[in-house]
Amino acid sequence: MPKIVVNSTPLIALCSIGRLDLLEKVYRRILIPQAVYDEVTEKDDAAGRQIAQRPDWIEVVQISDRSQKQMYRARLHDGEVEVMILAQEAPVADLAIIDDNAAKKTAKFLGLRVTGTLGVLMRARRMGYINSVAAVIDELCKNGFYVDDAVRAMVLEGAGEQG
Protein backbone atom coordinates (compact mmCIF):
# COMPACT_ATOMS: atom_id res chain seq x y z
CA MET A 1 0.00 0.00 0.00
CA PRO A 2 1.38 3.47 -0.85
CA LYS A 3 2.81 5.60 1.93
CA ILE A 4 0.95 8.94 1.88
CA VAL A 5 1.91 11.53 4.53
CA VAL A 6 -0.42 14.50 5.08
CA ASN A 7 0.11 17.86 6.77
CA SER A 8 -2.49 19.76 8.79
CA THR A 9 -3.71 22.32 6.24
CA PRO A 10 -5.15 19.77 3.78
CA LEU A 11 -6.88 17.99 6.69
CA ILE A 12 -8.33 21.22 8.07
CA ALA A 13 -9.35 22.54 4.65
CA LEU A 14 -11.13 19.34 3.60
CA CYS A 15 -12.80 18.97 7.01
CA SER A 16 -14.06 22.56 6.79
CA ILE A 17 -16.19 21.63 3.78
CA GLY A 18 -17.11 18.13 4.92
CA ARG A 19 -14.88 16.40 2.36
CA LEU A 20 -12.21 14.68 4.45
CA ASP A 21 -13.55 11.52 2.81
CA LEU A 22 -11.74 12.47 -0.39
CA LEU A 23 -8.41 11.54 1.18
CA GLU A 24 -9.73 8.08 2.01
CA LYS A 25 -11.34 7.61 -1.40
CA VAL A 26 -8.29 8.73 -3.34
CA TYR A 27 -5.51 7.22 -1.18
CA ARG A 28 -7.32 4.58 0.97
CA ARG A 29 -4.97 5.14 3.92
CA ILE A 30 -2.92 8.13 5.07
CA LEU A 31 -0.29 8.76 7.70
CA ILE A 32 -0.07 11.87 9.83
CA PRO A 33 2.79 12.58 12.20
CA GLN A 34 2.02 13.19 15.87
CA ALA A 35 2.74 16.94 15.53
CA VAL A 36 0.07 17.24 12.82
CA TYR A 37 -2.41 15.29 14.94
CA ASP A 38 -1.68 17.57 17.90
CA GLU A 39 -2.01 20.72 15.80
CA VAL A 40 -5.33 19.69 14.27
CA THR A 41 -6.91 18.35 17.46
CA GLU A 42 -5.87 21.19 19.78
CA LYS A 43 -8.88 23.21 18.59
CA ASP A 44 -12.44 22.13 19.29
CA ASP A 45 -13.63 22.49 15.71
CA ALA A 46 -14.89 20.19 12.96
CA ALA A 47 -11.41 19.16 11.86
CA GLY A 48 -10.20 18.56 15.39
CA ARG A 49 -13.21 16.44 16.30
CA GLN A 50 -13.09 14.43 13.09
CA ILE A 51 -9.36 13.68 13.32
CA ALA A 52 -9.59 13.00 17.08
CA GLN A 53 -12.04 10.19 16.30
CA ARG A 54 -9.12 8.53 14.49
CA PRO A 55 -10.86 6.99 11.53
CA ASP A 56 -9.28 3.60 10.78
CA TRP A 57 -7.82 4.90 7.49
CA ILE A 58 -5.80 7.63 9.27
CA GLU A 59 -2.74 6.40 11.12
CA VAL A 60 -0.98 8.71 13.58
CA VAL A 61 2.76 7.96 13.58
CA GLN A 62 5.65 9.08 15.78
CA ILE A 63 8.77 10.01 13.84
CA SER A 64 11.69 7.69 14.64
CA ASP A 65 14.43 10.26 15.17
CA ARG A 66 13.26 13.44 16.89
CA SER A 67 16.79 14.91 16.74
CA GLN A 68 16.32 15.46 12.99
CA LYS A 69 13.77 18.17 13.76
CA GLN A 70 16.56 20.62 14.61
CA MET A 71 17.69 20.75 10.98
CA TYR A 72 14.35 22.21 9.84
CA ARG A 73 13.45 24.59 12.65
CA ALA A 74 14.30 27.90 10.97
CA ARG A 75 11.60 28.08 8.31
CA LEU A 76 8.94 25.48 8.96
CA HIS A 77 6.26 24.62 11.49
CA ASP A 78 6.50 21.53 13.68
CA GLY A 79 3.90 19.60 11.66
CA GLU A 80 5.60 20.35 8.34
CA VAL A 81 8.93 19.25 9.75
CA GLU A 82 7.50 15.95 11.00
CA VAL A 83 5.73 15.36 7.67
CA MET A 84 9.08 15.59 5.88
CA ILE A 85 10.92 13.46 8.40
CA LEU A 86 8.19 10.80 8.37
CA ALA A 87 8.08 10.91 4.57
CA GLN A 88 11.84 10.25 4.42
CA GLU A 89 11.79 7.35 6.89
CA ALA A 90 11.91 3.90 5.34
CA PRO A 91 10.07 3.17 3.27
CA VAL A 92 10.21 6.61 1.67
CA ALA A 93 6.75 8.10 1.13
CA ASP A 94 5.10 7.82 -2.24
CA LEU A 95 3.58 11.26 -1.68
CA ALA A 96 3.58 14.12 0.83
CA ILE A 97 0.48 16.33 0.83
CA ILE A 98 1.48 19.83 1.94
CA ASP A 99 0.05 23.26 1.07
CA ASP A 100 2.67 25.69 2.39
CA ASN A 101 4.98 26.83 -0.44
CA ALA A 102 8.18 26.92 1.63
CA ALA A 103 7.45 23.44 2.95
CA LYS A 104 6.69 22.16 -0.58
CA LYS A 105 9.97 23.55 -1.87
CA THR A 106 11.88 21.96 0.99
CA ALA A 107 10.17 18.61 0.44
CA LYS A 108 10.95 18.71 -3.27
CA PHE A 109 14.57 19.62 -2.51
CA LEU A 110 14.68 16.51 -0.30
CA GLY A 111 13.52 14.43 -3.27
CA LEU A 112 9.98 13.85 -2.06
CA ARG A 113 6.99 13.71 -4.38
CA VAL A 114 4.63 16.48 -3.29
CA THR A 115 1.10 17.69 -3.94
CA GLY A 116 -1.33 19.91 -2.09
CA THR A 117 -5.04 20.08 -1.43
CA LEU A 118 -5.69 21.23 -5.00
CA GLY A 119 -3.74 18.27 -6.35
CA VAL A 120 -5.93 15.99 -4.25
CA LEU A 121 -9.00 17.60 -5.80
CA MET A 122 -7.66 17.11 -9.33
CA ARG A 123 -7.00 13.45 -8.65
CA ALA A 124 -10.44 13.03 -7.00
CA ARG A 125 -12.07 14.44 -10.13
CA ARG A 126 -10.07 12.14 -12.43
CA MET A 127 -11.19 9.21 -10.28
CA GLY A 128 -14.84 10.33 -10.40
CA TYR A 129 -15.25 11.28 -6.72
CA ILE A 130 -16.13 14.90 -7.48
CA ASN A 131 -17.77 16.43 -10.54
CA SER A 132 -16.23 19.89 -10.35
CA VAL A 133 -12.89 21.02 -8.97
CA ALA A 134 -14.06 24.64 -9.37
CA ALA A 135 -17.07 24.06 -7.11
CA VAL A 136 -14.92 22.49 -4.38
CA ILE A 137 -12.35 25.30 -4.65
CA ASP A 138 -15.20 27.80 -4.25
CA GLU A 139 -16.33 25.99 -1.08
CA LEU A 140 -12.78 25.99 0.27
CA CYS A 141 -12.39 29.70 -0.41
CA LYS A 142 -15.66 30.47 1.40
CA ASN A 143 -14.09 28.76 4.42
CA GLY A 144 -10.89 30.80 4.36
CA PHE A 145 -8.64 28.70 2.10
CA TYR A 146 -6.72 31.05 -0.21
CA VAL A 147 -6.21 30.17 -3.86
CA ASP A 148 -4.36 32.59 -6.12
CA ASP A 149 -6.23 33.36 -9.37
CA ALA A 150 -3.33 32.15 -11.53
CA VAL A 151 -3.06 28.90 -9.55
CA ARG A 152 -6.83 28.41 -9.76
CA ALA A 153 -6.76 28.85 -13.55
CA MET A 154 -3.86 26.41 -13.89
CA VAL A 155 -5.58 23.80 -11.68
CA LEU A 156 -8.88 24.10 -13.53
CA GLU A 157 -7.12 23.78 -16.88
CA GLY A 158 -5.30 20.69 -15.58
CA ALA A 159 -8.63 19.28 -14.42
CA GLY A 160 -10.19 19.91 -17.84
CA GLU A 161 -12.53 22.62 -16.53
CA GLN A 162 -12.96 26.17 -17.79
CA GLY A 163 -11.18 28.80 -15.66
Cα dihedral 21, 2, 87, 29 sign? positive
Please report the domains of the chain, with CATH numbers, ordered by start residue.
Answer: 4-118 (3.40.50.1010)
Side chain identity at residue 123, one-letter code: R
Q: pLDDT tens digit string along 144-162? A: 999 999 999 999 999 999 7
- Peptide bond just before 2 cis, omega within 30 deg: no
Q: What is the CA radius of gyration of the chain?
A: 15
The pTM of this model reads 0.91
What is the DSSP track for 40-79? Answer: HHTS-SHHHHHHHT--TTEEEE--S-GGGGGGTTTTS-HH
Q: What is the pLDDT of residues 7-56, one digit of tens each?
A: 999 999 999 999 999 999 999 999 999 999 999 999 878 788 888 888 89
